[in-house]
Structure 1
Amino acid sequence: MLRTVKHMEDYVISATDGNIGHVKDVYFDDETWCVRYLVVDTGTWLSSRKVLISPISIGQANWAGKQLPVSITKEQVENSPDINTQTPVSRQQEIRLLKYYGYPYYWSGYGMWGDSVYPNLMLTGYVDLVSRPNDEDPQGVRAVKAEQHQDDDMHLRSSQAVIDYRIHASDGDIGHIEDLLIDEETWAIRYLIVNTSNWWLGHQEIGLKM
């Protein structure tokens, strides 16, 4: 099922030992159009510090209750690397964060999430045989390759920053981005919701497939 980013705002993020905070934004990869992190406001218990939570840690969502459970503790969140969510997140910062939680690098395999299309399967040793060729990487080669990408250009974008971007067709302006539609299983952005009311009366929103 598809969920809008705006719909997920203020969803509760629940650690194994209590609530962490509420979703305030998402960071997506502008190459794969996949959500890589939720920006979570921790509220009073961490002085409203904002932290990044990877979909890798998210379990079975309670969409009706607007709650996303994660397989980490509040102490882990409290001691996690402090990343300024008001500035672009660098690949070096990502490496530090993923190492801290013990997560594989999502860019190190053949799929959208390592060797898989599903983020929560990165921790199970699952191999997606559809997206991965039959050849096997020698032990340790993938980790070395992943480290080689530590100086890659930044491709993470804030959803809040791109909402209201203008959309231009080959023959003129269509409208502006109003929201993003996300696949709740893969966390891939499937559609842009575009407001066309400035020129197409009666058709306020359309979906552009990514």
Structure 2
Amino acid sequence: MLRSTHELEKYAIQATDGEIGDVKDFFFDDDTWVVRYLVVDAGSWLTSRKVLISPVAIHNPNWVGRTLPVSITKEQVKNSPDVDTEQPISRQNEEQYMGYYGYGNYWGGLGLWGGGLYPYGMVPGYMGYGIDRAEREREMEAYQRTERQRHRNDDPHLRSCKAVTGYHLDANDGEIGHVSGFLVDEKTWAIRYLIVDTSNWWMGHKVLVAPEWITGVHWSNKTVSIDLSRDAVQAAPVYDPSESWTLQSDLDLRGHYGRAGYWSDSLLAAA
């Protein structure tokens, strides 16, 4: 299922020994379009410090109660590396953060989360975690050492969702609106769609655009270019935030544009 970042910004982060704070923003990787960190306001118990929480730590989300439990303690959060969430996050910042919590690096490997852990990967018994833990930790340490050396000079591609909200969207034949939010896959934390507000043209009409249709993000003038025409966007299925976005909604949207989906054959067969 897909979740709006506007909705998720209202969620509380629950450590194993108490509440950490509320989600305020997200940092996503603009290369793979995956949310790498949640920015959480820790409130008065941590002098209103903003901290990063990786989706790797999240388990068993309470969607009804708007709570995201995490497999870490408040003390761990308190002692975590201090990162200025108002500034770009460097690869060194990420290495310190991942090393502190013992997470594998997501960069350099295959798939959305590389060769390390992944969302829900710290739940005991889930896909091998908690089984022969000592051996897994030895393998993880060796992997981390190798990856740190290989990617020490990489340029991270992290962007703030709030910062990108408001960027103007350019079709291949003219401007069509602005980014008003994002829809995130609750399993992988991949950004599946940008929510585009076209109210300046079509009276409050909202549509969705997938990251793979983007031809360029221009950070200097705050615009996003897409490989779609204005007429195609205007005729696309309307996005209604009050209704759940389903697999059928995906099929209808991508069918309209004649674009392939991101789902597996097994998911389609189960639908």
CA deviations on 1:82-105 (whole Å, 9 max, x unpaired) are 000000000110000000001111
Structure 2: gaps (5+ residues): 129-138, 212-271
Pairwise CA distance, 1:142:
6.4
Counterpart position of 1:207: 208
Q: Is the 8 A contact 2:104 2:143 kept in 1?
A: no
Instruction: Give the whole-Å Cα distance in 2 for the aligned partners of 1:142 and 1:98.
Output: 9
TM-score (norm 2): 0.69
Counterpart position of 1:73: 73
Instruction: Give the whole-Å Cα distance in 2 for the aligned partners of 1:95 and 1:116.
Output: 13
CA deviations on 1:24-62 (whole Å, 9 max, x unpaired) are 000000000000000000000001000000000000100
Letter of the structure 2 residue corresponding to residue 172 of structure 1: G
CA RMSD of superposed structures (Å): 2.2
Letter of the structure 1 residue corresponding to residue 210 of structure 2: K
Instruction: Give 1:40-59 correspondences, 5 Å limit.
Output: 40-59=40-59
CA deviations on 1:8-32 (whole Å, 9 max, x unpaired) are 1131100000000000000000000
Instruction: Give the whole-Å Cα distance in 1 for the aligned partners of 2:207 and 2:117.
Output: 26
Answer 1 or 2: which has greater strand percent: 1
Tell which deviates more after alignment, 141-150 or 35-44: 141-150
Letter of the structure 1 residue corresponding to residue 177 of structure 2: G
Letter of the structure 2 residue corresponding to residue 179 of structure 1: G
Letter of the structure 1 residue corresponding to residue 59 of structure 2: G
Letter of the structure 2 residue corresponding to residue 41 of structure 1: D
Pairwise CA distance, 1:197:
1.2
Answer 1 or 2: which has greater helix percent: 2
Pairwise CA distance, 1:143:
3.5
Pairwise CA distance, 1:122:
7.0
Instruction: Give the whole-Å Cα distance in 1 for the aligned partners of 2:189 and 2:24.
Output: 16
Instruction: Give the whole-Å Cα distance in 1 for the aligned partners of 2:83 and 2:180.
Output: 27
Whether 2:102 is the aligned partner of 1:107: answer no
Q: Is the 8 A contact 1:35 1:188 kept in 2?
A: yes
Pairwise CA distance, 1:152:
1.1
Instruction: Give the whole-Å Cα distance in 1 for the aligned partners of 2:108 and 2:56.
Output: 14
Aligned length: 199
Q: Is the 8 A contact 1:60 1:69 kept in 2?
A: yes
TM-score (norm 1): 0.88
CA deviations on 1:167-195 (whole Å, 9 max, x unpaired) are 00110001000110000000000001000
1:104–1:116 distance in 2 versus 1, CA, 3 Å: closer
Letter of the structure 2 residue corresponding to residue 71 of structure 1: S
Instruction: Give the whole-Å Cα distance in 2 for the aligned partners of 1:162 and 1:185.
Output: 23
Pairwise CA distance, 1:140:
3.6
Structure with max Cα Rg: 2
The percentage of counterpart residues that share the same residue type is: 54
Counterpart position of 2:34: 34
